[in-house]
Structure 1
């Protein structure tokens, strides 16, 4: 009676253990961690000393799988460096390949002496290298509910007791064949594992596809503005790098700030897509390297050339008149001096127009002279006076700093709101629901002078505060902007500190960025999903 009660208790514990294992496996999204759990649980419920796991290499659509990929192994008796992945053909030549091909489990009481009709060959290289003995073996196909082969689970040396197998005597005395109960448990576990692996692979595929969508979106944005190529990747790398430093920091208000793997992934996507709204900004504004749009300066040059030709033509006409009526030479020379002065004014005016077109700081007096030039005229095709500079051209040339007019600056700034509007249309789910707000807030400033919402202080998410530092630093140091030279790193860091004094950037975050040299982070790290924080 006691033995029966003990057996019932043991089986009840096994059922509860399997249920717990099923829950744990279904909750694991990371494929690598999931495979490790499967191997651990399989060894625990069967008493196996070692195990290996293979996953089917997914073929193209409509093709049958032909290869298994070794993913991992464990051994409680031998310490060894984790094996690199390798592939095994799905064929009768290997134990795992035969089980995958036939989809039938294989229970070998003594793997060194397989059945006489066995076609497979046992690879004993590990045993020969380490002194281990692979005696009993249970190899099970993992098949999904849709009857699709997912992988193969290989268990080695069911043993008595919990200690490691050290000596030949241990292998002789303590290693047992896998019994029917082991088969039943592994069958149940394999079914659960197949579903969990399939789900994890599906999740991985979806994550990879989504990551590809984000990368393609970044590429599309930067194709519109090739001068900023690589900017989004660098901003993402700097921002995630700074978040890792914040995560590890243990002083002040930052001591309570921590980031999970999902938080870092959300931050990475937000940083990669922070300029996504630029798709709503006119390309000519995005690419405006000088104060005048390409082609406008040529039109102005043509007007000045016409004005010069008109002045010379007028000179010839007046001289001809004077000569016909026998005017004294002094009158001719006066007309020539008048024309020369007019042409001199045109040439000086054109030089100022050319100089003012550069995206540099414009002196106040030069801005006034541009207005005066706008009052100059030349005769049009029908003889009516035409202005040398149009109103919109005067506005552009009088920009005090940079290349954009006030209206164009507002249009550029609108990209932040466009980013929020566009990204809000994407169903990010519960993991990344804050992403549109984070991405759109990278131009907000602590004093409320930023855009698009004019947020202040704590109303700005810390992720956006970090991104603002990364964005400004990269904009300063980028060497591919045609409208400005790159700023050396020391000067760029000084500018970041100045921004903290103006209450635009957070001083604690800038300190971490500078002291830990986050700006040296490799931009290629942003091409990959971030590793979990330490």
Structure 2
């Protein structure tokens, strides 16, 4: 058959009709048939004069062409309608699928965003709000309630309640719970599981409940819901209750959504079964986050409790320093807050970025003296010069007693020899008694520390030390192993032995391991280190010119800051607490670089470190529980701080802040005896601070 002939065109039409039914569901095939018919139609027009037999009669070519064209036009129009209808159906189907994909994608994106937000949220109330509001948004719920398990795990406690229609938004706080009774998981009288309440049953069975209409839910008791509806002019219809179960853990709470709403009509509808899966996924993710938050919170509380326990234990070592580790953080936090709040001046750019930085500073304040755990109590509490574990003045007094009796024995011996002499003490003996008493008075007076011991008394001590007494018992018996080691290489004297009343003996000295000095230096500590660990020499201690501490003991006390730094630097603090050793270890440094243990300058110290120094000094000056000094009044304490500021020992800017914000007075009113709170003129002190600040 010749292509393009009338017979071929007729065949095209026939074939088009044959496949028309099949082509109705295939747009591509419809388009192909339509193309063929159109081409055949165009060829028919070109051959307008063609004739053909019809019932044996001749056919008008023009009429035949018109009829064929009309028939083909009908076929073409029909096919066009079919194609248009099919196109509309496909477009509608594509639009529906697109909307569904967009909807699913939006829900997934919302879940991801919620997950990210929950993971970074540290506040529990805001975290619960994120979960609740996310679930309401996913389901277009009108209301929602969040419950958490009580510590006893026998009831659920209301945490958050939201209702958009009623404009209700309530949340519990650490200080105040919501005014609703807990939902008990078991009957308080019988102990039977509470399965009439949908929330308790969801938790008990670890199962989600999707209720289309609460008023027709025969398995559950919604009496409380109906009472609420009646009181508020509301109608609770659909409920979705989901237990919060962290992976592999116990139920920690429940999320209940109320009245799913059609976003277009506002009509209350049942919760969509597919959306239920999204809510369950959100609840599971939220449960894990809440559980992690609770674990982190418990760990933080444990760490803080251990830190405060350590500080309290250090204070408890000595009744004379009790409270120091508790009071210094109070001053430090007041000063830190004042610096943080400053909008102008030297602290305008200073501030703690978040709660973690505040916690870091507070922990450093609590631990600023943790190294004192290594300082012997008798050094911390040394109230007299001869004190070690006990006050050795009693031992020395015993020697005076011995001499007194030896004098008496000598006198009586002479009298016996004289046979009949006068038994009353003679003038010479009485003079010796008086001299001995005077010598003891000098020793006792020197034993009590003071501001300065003059050379005359030092010489008197050395003279008194020359007096002798007779030891009649072996002084190498009943000793500890450590005491025996100290006697190694020292020649002993068997009794009776004449000894000096006061002495600096080799056994009084404990030498330092040479390696200690090298270890201190390699750690960056720049303190002058005595060659001896201790020196208990009696003359050496009694001739201390200021206070009661020897050079070795003063270093031992100062060494607590070295031990503080060493202890804190070896602790595996998390990243957000890396500066605790720096803050805690700098409170004995001075602005001029002459402090200890590392001789840092002002430029090398952070603001919190400089704050800690003033907090530590002011607490020590005003403390009323020190054995070696009387508590100072406010005016004198601030005057001393002013001298230290002028001498570049403390930071002038922090001192000025301390004065201007009256932190000294706020602290005094809470912690000092009223007798210490006197009138203070801070203007001269402020002038000192300004002048000192101008030199930097």
For Structure 1 versus Structure 2, the TM-score category normalised by the shorter chain is 0.7 to 0.9
Q: Work out the CA distance in 2 between the residues paired with 1:108 and 1:524.
A: 58
Q: Give the RMSD, CA atoms, in angstroms.
A: 2.9
Distance 1:325 1:220, change over 3 A: closer
Corresponding residue for 1:387?
500
Q: Work out the CA distance in 2 between the residues paired with 1:523 and 1:211.
A: 27
Q: Work out the CA distance in 2 between the residues paired with 1:309 and 1:213.
A: 56
Q: 1:78 aligns with which of 144, 167, 177?
A: 167
**What is the Cα deviation at residue 464 of structure 1?**
1.8
Cα contact 1:78–1:132 (8 A) shared by 2? no
Cα contact 2:385–2:549 (8 A) shared by 1? yes
Q: 1:357 aligns with which of 447, 454, 457?
A: 447
Q: Work out the CA distance in 2 between the residues paired with 1:389 and 1:234.
A: 42
Deviation per CA, 1:442-465: give whole Å up to 9, x if none: 211111121111111121232221
Q: 2:635 aligns with which of 456, 476, 490?
A: 490
Cα contact 1:277–1:422 (8 A) shared by 2? yes
Cα contact 2:331–2:663 (8 A) shared by 1? yes
Q: Work out the CA distance in 1 between the residues paired with 2:611 and 2:231.
A: 52
Q: Work out the CA distance in 2 between the residues paired with 1:356 and 1:87.
A: 71
Corresponding residue for 1:156?
258
**What is the Cα deviation at residue 250 of structure 1?**
1.8
Secondary structure in structure 1 of the residue aligned to 2:224: coil
Q: 2:341 aligns with which of 229, 248, 273?
A: 248
Distance 1:347 1:266, change over 3 A: same
Corresponding residue for 1:275?
369
Deviation per CA, 1:218-271: give whole Å up to 9, x if none: 233223223222211211122122111111112233111111211111111111
Q: Work out the CA distance in 1 between the residues paired with 2:229 and 2:420.
A: 121
Deviation per CA, 1:143-184: give whole Å up to 9, x if none: 12215212101223334569xxxxxxxxx9654433234323
Bigger radius of gyration: 2
Cα contact 2:146–2:159 (8 A) shared by 1? yes
Distance 1:434 1:466, change over 3 A: same
What residue ranges of structure 2 are gaps of 5+ in the alignment? Answer: 1-93, 186-193, 473-494, 505-536, 672-696
Alignment of 1:56-75 (within 5 A): 56-59=149-152, 65-75=153-163
Alignment of 1:205-354 (within 5 A): 205-259=298-352, 260-293=354-387, 294-320=390-416, 323=418, 336-354=426-444
Distance 1:373 1:79, change over 3 A: farther
Distance 1:69 1:494, change over 3 A: farther
Q: Work out the CA distance in 2 between the residues paired with 1:319 and 1:362.
A: 46
Q: 1:89 aligns with which of 152, 176, 184?
A: 184
Cα contact 2:453–2:544 (8 A) shared by 1? no
Q: How many residues align?
A: 504
Q: Work out the CA distance in 1 between the residues paired with 2:603 and 2:419.
A: 84
Distance 1:93 1:308, change over 3 A: farther
Cα contact 1:98–1:120 (8 A) shared by 2? no
Secondary structure in structure 2 of the residue aligned to 1:256: coil
**More contact order relative to length (CA 8 Å, sep ≥ 6):** 1
Q: Work out the CA distance in 2 between the residues paired with 1:394 and 1:119.
A: 90
Q: Work out the CA distance in 1 between the residues paired with 2:158 and 2:255.
A: 10
Corresponding residue for 2:468?
377
**What is the Cα deviation at residue 377 of structure 1?**
2.4
What residue ranges of structure 1 are gaps of 5+ in the alignment? Answer: 60-64, 163-171, 526-534
Cα contact 1:286–1:412 (8 A) shared by 2? yes
Question: If the length of structure 1 is used for normalisation, what is the TM-score?
Answer: 0.86
Cα contact 1:234–1:523 (8 A) shared by 2? no
Q: Work out the CA distance in 2 between the residues paired with 1:107 and 1:523.
A: 60
Cα contact 2:242–2:256 (8 A) shared by 1? yes
Cα contact 1:28–1:200 (8 A) shared by 2? no
Cα contact 2:384–2:391 (8 A) shared by 1? no
Corresponding residue for 2:105?
12
Distance 1:81 1:318, change over 3 A: same
Q: Work out the CA distance in 1 between the residues paired with 2:267 and 2:634.
A: 66
Q: Work out the CA distance in 1 between the residues paired with 2:558 and 2:446.
A: 24
Distance 1:354 1:127, change over 3 A: farther
Q: Work out the CA distance in 1 between the residues paired with 2:160 and 2:169.
A: 12
Q: Work out the CA distance in 2 between the residues paired with 1:487 and 1:125.
A: 67
**What is the Cα deviation at residue 360 of structure 1?**
2.6
Question: If the length of structure 2 is used for normalisation, what is the TM-score?
Answer: 0.67
Q: Work out the CA distance in 2 between the residues paired with 1:516 and 1:70.
A: 42
Q: Work out the CA distance in 1 between the residues paired with 2:205 and 2:631.
A: 64
Corresponding residue for 1:43?
136
Secondary structure in structure 1 of the residue aligned to 2:260: strand
Distance 1:136 1:489, change over 3 A: farther
- Stretch moving more, 223-232 or 76-85: 76-85
**What is the Cα deviation at residue 41 of structure 1?**
2.0
